[in-house]
């Protein structure tokens, strides 16, 4: 499947931030491997004049998801720190819409739709189909794709442009299976 891009398509890049890459505080194994395929999609969407959205985790220093607060994760993506910045090498154009999420201390938000205006932006842009990649397959990509399906968007999973935390072996594969179960379509190869 290599679907021709058309009006109504948008690229949705989830949380491609330094802290989620190897060397970062919540490194997703092989997470940096998604930068190259995402850059291919960025240039395709740019060439067609189609919109690009990028969510990012933007936590206060005492966020409830951090272990110090009793949460499950090491501190990561603290607002304003280098680790919260987009991955070096990600060719995000100036016109890409950037959406912070999980900015409040007491609420975590895996989905890019949770507490953001993503759905509004997509409606304004008359988006019907989302091409989704980023990090991590088993958390924020999963939750974003499921919300997108629930809100009525078609979802194309960019399989080679996402990686999983895999706290339990197989989490990533199970996440893919539940997104497909929810009606997402898989695109294996970005080349
Ligand atoms: C994420 C864990 C904690 C993600 C964010 O982007 O998938 N995972 N915060
Ligand atoms: Zn987070």
Per residue of the chain (191 residues), give pLDDT as tens.
557 999 999 999 999 999 999 999 999 999 999 999 999 999 999 999 999 999 999 999 999 999 999 999 999 999 999 999 999 999 999 999 999 999 999 999 999 999 999 999 999 999 999 999 999 999 999 999 999 999 999 999 999 999 999 999 999 999 999 999 999 999 998 88
Q: Please tell me what DSSP assigns to residue 164.
A: -
Strand 9-14 and strand 154-163: pairing?
unpaired
Burial of 131 by CB count in 10 Å (0-12 exposed, 13-18 middle, 19+ buried)?
Answer: buried
Out of 67, 74, 136, 161, mutate this one to test ligand 1's pocket (max ligand atoms within 8 Å of CB): namely 136
The CATH number of the structural domain formed by 9-55+87-97+110-187 is 3.40.50.850
Q: How far is the CA of 66 from the centre of ligand 2 (A)?
A: 8
Cα 43 to its chain centre, rounded Å, is 17
Contact residues of ligand 1, CB 6 A cut-off? 15, 57, 65, 73, 135-136, 139-140
- H or E segment and range at residue 52: strand 52-57
Q: Which residues are catalytic?
A: 15, 101, 140
Cis before 164 (ω within 30): no
Q: How far is the CA of 101 from the centre of ligand 2 (A)?
A: 9
Q: How far is the CA of 103 from the centre of ligand 1 (A)?
A: 13
Domain boundaries, the chain: 9-55+87-97+110-187
User: Residues 6 or more apart from 161 whose CB is under 8 A from it?
Assistant: 34, 37, 38, 41, 133, 134, 190
- H or E segment and range at residue 187: strand 185-187
């Amino acid at each position: 499947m290599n679907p021709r891009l058309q009006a109504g398509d948008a690229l949705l890049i989830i949380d491609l931030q330094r802290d989620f890459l190897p060397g970062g505080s919540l490194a997703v194994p092989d997470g940096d491997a998604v930068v190259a395929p995402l850059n291919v999609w960025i240039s395709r969407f740019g060439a067609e004049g189609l919109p690009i959205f990028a969510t990012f985790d933007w936590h206060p220093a005492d966020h409830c998801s951090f272990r110090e607060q009793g949460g499950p994760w090491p501190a990561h993506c603290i607002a304003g720190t280098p680790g919260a910045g987009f991955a070096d090498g990600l060719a995000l154009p100036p016109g890409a819409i950037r959406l912070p999420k999980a900015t409040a201390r007491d609420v975590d938000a895996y989905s890019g739709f949770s507490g953001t205006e993503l759905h509004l932006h997509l409606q304004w842009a008359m988006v019907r189909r989302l091409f989704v990649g980023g990090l991590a397959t088993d958390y924020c990509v999963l939750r974003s794709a499921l919300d997108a399906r629930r809100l009525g968007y078609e979802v194309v999973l960019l399989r080679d442009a996402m990686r999983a935390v895999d706290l339990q072996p197989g989490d990533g594969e199970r996440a893919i299976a539940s997104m497909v179960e929810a009606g997402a379509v898989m695109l294996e190869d970005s080349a």
